[in-house]
Structure 1
Amino acid sequence: MGILNKRAVEAAMAERPTPDIRTGDVVEIKLEVPENRRRVSIYKGIVMSKQNAGIHTTIRIRRIIAGIGVEIVFPVYSPNIKEIKVVAHRKVRRARLYYLRDKLPRFSTFK
């Protein structure tokens, strides 16, 4: 299974290269939304955590929408994700930034 998982990751990386994403990065994800026609929506947020699981690797992104904190889990190697771009990096001392849920919204906001 490990060999199959490694091959699947290599095939996904050949199709669309993925940057080195770490906790604390501010990332911009271009996601293809399957509606009437395939439109691309841009989701920008801070990476709260990363789950390494081979082809099933996920990242949890947090952003503030209309004053309310929203978290979405994205599979990194999903075919619906067209591009992942690291906009900035924040210095963090933790592997999981779940404490941002209890902080003021300004800590999850970025420019």
Structure 2
Amino acid sequence: MGKILKEIGKEYEVREQNFEIGHTVKVFTKIVEGKRERIQIFEGTVIGIQGSGVEKSFKVRKMVGGLGVERTFPLQSRMIQKIEPGKKGKVRRAKLFYLRDRIGKKALLKPEKN
């Protein structure tokens, strides 16, 4: 099965991943409503990256009205127009699932020192 996916992956142009865990990113997604198309922006913190090659995906979390909203995006999806990385937060974990339990300012990451 892995060999088949590698062969299929060679045919597609691979989007570069220019962000890491803890980055604040803006994901520009194409939404089709009937005959119309529009771009929707989902801005939040990357809390996880999984998979490799064509199957790579990432999970973004944001707060809306006091509730946490998470969305998983396939990195190679045609529905994603672009991904703009923002500020990098200081993290020491591969997955930031502990942010699910935090509310308000505690859910924010400290900025990384350069």
Same fold by TM (over 0.5)?
yes
TM-score normalised by L of structure 2: 0.82
- The whole-number CA distance in structure 1 between the counterparts of 2:95 and 2:38 is 32
What SS does structure 2 have at the residue aligned with 1:18? coil
TM-score normalised by L of structure 1: 0.84
Between structure 1 and structure 2, the one with the greater Rg is 2
Which one-letter code corresponds to 2:66 in the other structure? Answer: G
Change (3 A) 1:108 1:18: farther
Q: More relative contact order in 1 or in 2 (CA 8 Å, sep 6+)?
A: 1
What is the match of residue 77 of structure 1? 76
What is the match of residue 12 of structure 1? 13
- The whole-number CA distance in structure 1 between the counterparts of 2:37 and 2:108 is 28
Change (3 A) 1:107 1:45: farther
- The whole-number CA distance in structure 2 between the counterparts of 1:33 and 1:88 is 26
What is the match of residue 25 of structure 1? 23
- The whole-number CA distance in structure 2 between the counterparts of 1:3 and 1:96 is 26
The alignment-based identity, stated in percent, is 29
- The whole-number CA distance in structure 2 between the counterparts of 1:78 and 1:87 is 20
